[in-house]
Amino acid sequence: MEEQKKKISLIAFSGDFDRLTAVFTLATGAAASGYEVNIFFTFWGLDAIKAEKGRAFLGKNWLTKLFGFMMGGLSNTPTSRFNFFGIGPRIFRYLMKKNNVATLEELVDAANALGINLYACEMAMHVLGLEKKDFIHEVKDVLGVNTFLELSEGGRTLFI
Amino acid sequence: MANHVLDITNEHCPMTFVKTKLKLAQIAEGDTLEVLLTEGEPLNNLPKSAKEQGYQVLSVTHVEGPVHKVIIQK
Protein backbone atom coordinates (compact mmCIF):
# COMPACT_ATOMS: atom_id res chain seq x y z
CA MET A 1 0.00 0.00 0.00
CA GLU A 2 1.32 3.42 -0.89
CA GLU A 3 2.34 5.52 2.07
CA GLN A 4 0.04 8.45 2.69
CA LYS A 5 1.53 11.86 1.96
CA LYS A 6 2.83 13.66 5.05
CA LYS A 7 0.70 16.62 6.00
CA ILE A 8 0.91 19.70 8.21
CA SER A 9 -1.83 22.25 8.82
CA LEU A 10 -1.10 25.61 10.39
CA ILE A 11 -3.57 27.99 11.97
CA ALA A 12 -2.21 31.49 11.41
CA PHE A 13 -3.99 33.51 14.10
CA SER A 14 -1.37 36.17 14.67
CA GLY A 15 -0.79 39.15 12.43
CA ASP A 16 2.67 39.74 13.90
CA PHE A 17 5.56 39.98 11.47
CA ASP A 18 7.70 37.51 13.45
CA ARG A 19 4.97 34.95 13.99
CA LEU A 20 3.94 35.12 10.33
CA THR A 21 7.60 34.62 9.42
CA ALA A 22 7.48 31.43 11.53
CA VAL A 23 4.27 30.33 9.78
CA PHE A 24 5.70 30.79 6.30
CA THR A 25 9.13 29.36 7.19
CA LEU A 26 7.56 26.17 8.52
CA ALA A 27 5.09 25.99 5.67
CA THR A 28 7.61 26.44 2.85
CA GLY A 29 10.19 24.18 4.50
CA ALA A 30 7.59 21.45 4.90
CA ALA A 31 6.24 21.84 1.35
CA ALA A 32 9.77 21.68 -0.03
CA SER A 33 10.27 18.42 1.87
CA GLY A 34 7.22 16.89 0.24
CA TYR A 35 4.55 17.68 2.81
CA GLU A 36 1.05 18.69 1.88
CA VAL A 37 0.63 22.07 3.62
CA ASN A 38 -2.55 23.88 4.61
CA ILE A 39 -2.60 27.31 6.22
CA PHE A 40 -5.83 28.53 7.77
CA PHE A 41 -5.76 32.30 8.32
CA THR A 42 -8.00 33.72 11.00
CA PHE A 43 -8.38 37.02 12.85
CA TRP A 44 -5.16 39.08 12.74
CA GLY A 45 -3.59 36.44 10.52
CA LEU A 46 -5.87 37.53 7.67
CA ASP A 47 -3.61 40.58 7.23
CA ALA A 48 -1.04 38.27 5.63
CA ILE A 49 -3.26 37.37 2.67
CA LYS A 50 -4.84 40.73 1.88
CA ALA A 51 -4.33 41.75 -1.74
CA GLU A 52 -3.70 45.29 -0.52
CA LYS A 53 -0.29 45.03 1.17
CA GLY A 54 -0.44 48.44 2.83
CA ARG A 55 -3.20 50.17 4.78
CA ALA A 56 -6.59 50.24 3.10
CA PHE A 57 -10.14 50.97 4.18
CA LEU A 58 -11.36 47.39 3.70
CA GLY A 59 -14.67 46.59 5.30
CA LYS A 60 -18.39 47.00 4.94
CA ASN A 61 -19.16 49.87 7.32
CA TRP A 62 -17.24 52.72 8.92
CA LEU A 63 -16.18 50.63 11.93
CA THR A 64 -14.80 47.66 9.97
CA LYS A 65 -13.26 50.07 7.44
CA LEU A 66 -11.43 51.79 10.29
CA PHE A 67 -10.37 48.41 11.64
CA GLY A 68 -9.16 47.39 8.18
CA PHE A 69 -7.11 50.54 7.94
CA MET A 70 -5.57 50.13 11.39
CA MET A 71 -4.75 46.45 10.78
CA GLY A 72 -3.16 47.06 7.40
CA GLY A 73 -1.67 44.33 5.19
CA LEU A 74 1.50 42.26 4.99
CA SER A 75 3.82 45.25 4.75
CA ASN A 76 2.35 46.84 7.92
CA THR A 77 2.65 43.81 10.17
CA PRO A 78 4.22 44.77 13.52
CA THR A 79 6.76 42.68 15.44
CA SER A 80 5.46 41.09 18.66
CA ARG A 81 8.37 42.72 20.53
CA PHE A 82 10.50 45.78 19.73
CA ASN A 83 7.98 47.15 17.28
CA PHE A 84 8.84 50.78 18.14
CA PHE A 85 5.92 52.17 16.09
CA GLY A 86 6.89 50.19 12.98
CA ILE A 87 10.65 50.67 13.06
CA GLY A 88 11.19 47.12 14.42
CA PRO A 89 9.96 45.28 11.30
CA ARG A 90 12.09 47.58 9.11
CA ILE A 91 15.17 46.69 11.11
CA PHE A 92 14.32 42.98 10.88
CA ARG A 93 13.81 43.20 7.12
CA TYR A 94 17.16 44.96 6.81
CA LEU A 95 18.91 42.31 8.95
CA MET A 96 17.29 39.46 7.02
CA LYS A 97 18.32 40.90 3.65
CA LYS A 98 21.83 41.61 4.91
CA ASN A 99 22.22 38.02 6.13
CA ASN A 100 20.60 36.55 3.01
CA VAL A 101 17.67 35.14 4.97
CA ALA A 102 14.35 35.13 3.11
CA THR A 103 12.10 38.05 4.04
CA LEU A 104 8.43 37.54 4.85
CA GLU A 105 7.43 38.67 1.34
CA GLU A 106 9.87 36.21 -0.27
CA LEU A 107 8.49 33.41 1.90
CA VAL A 108 4.92 34.24 0.83
CA ASP A 109 6.03 34.15 -2.83
CA ALA A 110 7.75 30.80 -2.19
CA ALA A 111 4.59 29.46 -0.52
CA ASN A 112 2.61 30.35 -3.63
CA ALA A 113 5.23 28.86 -5.96
CA LEU A 114 5.14 25.63 -3.95
CA GLY A 115 1.37 25.42 -4.20
CA ILE A 116 0.68 25.61 -0.47
CA ASN A 117 -3.06 25.63 0.27
CA LEU A 118 -4.17 28.96 1.73
CA TYR A 119 -7.57 29.23 3.38
CA ALA A 120 -9.40 32.12 5.02
CA CYS A 121 -11.66 31.84 8.07
CA GLU A 122 -15.26 32.60 7.20
CA MET A 123 -16.24 33.80 10.67
CA ALA A 124 -13.35 36.25 11.11
CA MET A 125 -13.97 37.60 7.60
CA HIS A 126 -17.59 38.19 8.52
CA VAL A 127 -16.64 40.06 11.70
CA LEU A 128 -14.08 42.24 9.88
CA GLY A 129 -16.33 42.82 6.87
CA LEU A 130 -13.86 41.20 4.47
CA GLU A 131 -14.67 39.31 1.27
CA LYS A 132 -12.74 36.74 -0.73
CA LYS A 133 -11.99 39.38 -3.37
CA ASP A 134 -10.05 41.36 -0.72
CA PHE A 135 -7.45 38.56 -0.62
CA ILE A 136 -4.66 37.46 -2.94
CA HIS A 137 -5.98 35.16 -5.66
CA GLU A 138 -3.94 32.22 -4.34
CA VAL A 139 -6.39 31.90 -1.43
CA LYS A 140 -8.10 28.68 -2.35
CA ASP A 141 -11.25 28.85 -0.31
CA VAL A 142 -13.15 30.36 2.62
CA LEU A 143 -13.69 27.79 5.36
CA GLY A 144 -15.18 27.10 8.76
CA VAL A 145 -13.88 24.92 11.60
CA ASN A 146 -15.39 21.68 10.34
CA THR A 147 -13.85 21.84 6.90
CA PHE A 148 -10.51 22.74 8.47
CA LEU A 149 -10.74 19.70 10.75
CA GLU A 150 -11.47 17.50 7.76
CA LEU A 151 -8.55 18.94 5.80
CA SER A 152 -6.11 18.61 8.67
CA GLU A 153 -7.09 15.08 9.67
CA GLY A 154 -4.27 12.58 9.64
CA GLY A 155 -1.55 15.24 9.80
CA ARG A 156 0.00 17.59 12.32
CA THR A 157 -1.61 20.84 13.35
CA LEU A 158 -0.01 23.96 14.80
CA PHE A 159 -1.54 27.17 16.09
CA ILE A 160 0.65 30.22 15.64
CA MET B 1 18.93 14.53 -20.84
CA ALA B 2 20.36 17.77 -19.53
CA ASN B 3 22.36 18.66 -16.47
CA HIS B 4 21.38 21.64 -14.33
CA VAL B 5 23.35 23.37 -11.61
CA LEU B 6 22.06 25.02 -8.45
CA ASP B 7 24.24 26.74 -5.88
CA ILE B 8 22.56 27.06 -2.48
CA THR B 9 25.74 27.57 -0.46
CA ASN B 10 24.69 31.14 0.38
CA GLU B 11 21.08 30.27 1.19
CA HIS B 12 19.57 29.58 4.58
CA CYS B 13 16.66 27.52 5.86
CA PRO B 14 14.04 27.14 4.42
CA MET B 15 15.22 28.57 1.06
CA THR B 16 17.86 25.84 0.64
CA PHE B 17 15.05 23.30 0.37
CA VAL B 18 12.60 25.63 -1.38
CA LYS B 19 14.99 26.53 -4.21
CA THR B 20 15.96 22.89 -4.74
CA LYS B 21 12.33 21.77 -4.80
CA LEU B 22 11.32 24.50 -7.27
CA LYS B 23 14.30 23.73 -9.52
CA LEU B 24 13.49 20.01 -9.48
CA ALA B 25 9.93 20.85 -10.47
CA GLN B 26 11.19 22.84 -13.48
CA ILE B 27 13.58 20.29 -14.98
CA ALA B 28 12.53 17.42 -17.24
CA GLU B 29 12.16 13.77 -16.24
CA GLY B 30 15.57 12.10 -16.48
CA ASP B 31 17.53 15.36 -16.15
CA THR B 32 20.10 15.69 -13.42
CA LEU B 33 20.51 18.52 -10.94
CA GLU B 34 23.87 19.26 -9.40
CA VAL B 35 23.35 21.00 -6.06
CA LEU B 36 26.19 22.77 -4.30
CA LEU B 37 25.45 22.96 -0.59
CA THR B 38 27.14 23.32 2.78
CA GLU B 39 27.54 21.01 5.75
CA GLY B 40 24.93 20.86 8.49
CA GLU B 41 21.22 20.95 7.80
CA PRO B 42 21.39 21.05 3.97
CA LEU B 43 23.92 18.20 3.65
CA ASN B 44 22.23 16.11 6.36
CA ASN B 45 18.71 16.43 5.08
CA LEU B 46 18.55 17.46 1.43
CA PRO B 47 19.67 14.12 -0.09
CA LYS B 48 17.35 12.28 2.33
CA SER B 49 14.43 14.54 1.50
CA ALA B 50 15.05 14.16 -2.27
CA LYS B 51 15.00 10.36 -1.93
CA GLU B 52 11.80 10.48 0.10
CA GLN B 53 10.18 12.47 -2.68
CA GLY B 54 11.05 9.83 -5.25
CA TYR B 55 14.15 11.39 -6.82
CA GLN B 56 17.38 9.45 -7.22
CA VAL B 57 20.48 10.68 -5.46
CA LEU B 58 23.35 9.67 -7.75
CA SER B 59 26.25 10.97 -5.66
CA VAL B 60 27.32 13.09 -2.72
CA THR B 61 30.89 14.37 -2.98
CA HIS B 62 33.03 16.75 -1.00
CA VAL B 63 34.14 19.81 -3.00
CA GLU B 64 36.18 21.92 -0.61
CA GLY B 65 35.87 23.31 2.90
CA PRO B 66 32.25 23.05 3.98
CA VAL B 67 30.97 22.73 0.37
CA HIS B 68 29.56 19.45 -0.97
CA LYS B 69 28.03 18.47 -4.29
CA VAL B 70 24.90 16.37 -4.51
CA ILE B 71 23.72 15.02 -7.86
CA ILE B 72 20.01 14.33 -8.06
CA GLN B 73 18.20 12.71 -10.96
CA LYS B 74 14.56 13.44 -11.62
Q: Where are the domains of chain A?
A: 14-141
Q: What is the pLDDT of residue A108?
A: 97
B7 touches chain A (CB under 8 A): no
Q: Provide the pLDDT for residue A157.
A: 98
B36 is catalytic: no
**Average pLDDT along chain A:** 94
User: Is A33 within 8 Å of B53 when comparing Cβ atoms?
Assistant: yes
- pLDDT tens track for A66-77: 988 888 999 999
Residues of chain B with C-beta less than 8 angstroms from the C-beta of A25: 13-14
**Through-space distance between the first and last CA atoms of chain A, rounded to whole angstroms:** 34
Q: What ipTM was predicted for this assembly?
A: 0.90
Q: What's A85's DSSP letter?
A: G
Nearest one of A125, A126, A120, A129 to A148, comparing CA atoms: A120
Q: Do B12 and A110 touch (CB under 8 A)?
A: no
Spatial separation of the C-alpha atoms in residues A51 and A135, rounded to whole Å: 5
pLDDT, residue B1, reads 81
Residue range A14-141 forms a domain whose CATH class is: alpha beta
Residue among B10, B12, B18 whose CB faces A32 most closely: B18
pLDDT in tens, A77-129: 999 999 999 999 999 999 999 999 999 999 999 999 999 999 999 999 999 99
- Residues in chain B within 8 Å Cβ distance of A113: 18, 22
Domain B3-73 superfamily per CATH: TusA-like domain (3.30.110.40)
Domain ranges of chain B: 3-73
Mutate to test the interface with A, among B7, B10, B20, B21 (most CBs of A within 10 A): B21
Residues of chain A with a CB closer than 8 angstroms to some CB in chain B? 25-26, 28-29, 31-34, 99-102, 106-107, 110, 113-114
CA–CA separation, A111 and A9 (whole Å): 13
Catalytic choice (B13, B18, B22, B58): B13
Q: Are strands B32-38 and B67-73 parallel, antiparallel or unpaired?
A: antiparallel
| pTM more than 0.80 | yes
Judged by a CB distance cut-off of 8 A, whether residue B55 touches chain A is: no
Q: Count of alpha carbons within 13 Å of A116, Cβ hemisphere only?
A: 33
For residue B21, the chain A residues in CB contact (below 8 A) are 31-33, 114
A12 pLDDT above the threshold of 90: yes
Q: What is the pLDDT of residue A1?
A: 43
User: Which pLDDT does position A67 carry in this prediction?
Assistant: 86
Distances (CA, A) of A154 to A9, A93, A117, A157: 10, 36, 16, 9
User: pLDDT tens digits, residue range B17-52?
Assistant: 999 999 999 999 999 999 999 999 999 999 999 999
Q: Which of A4, A33, A35 to mutate to test the interface with B (most CBs of B within 10 A)?
A: A33
pLDDT at A150 over 90: yes
Q: Look at A5 and A91; give whichever has higher pLDDT.
A: A91
Distance from chain centroid for Cα A117: 11
Do residues A59 and A68 make contact, with C-beta atoms less than 8 angstroms apart?
A: yes
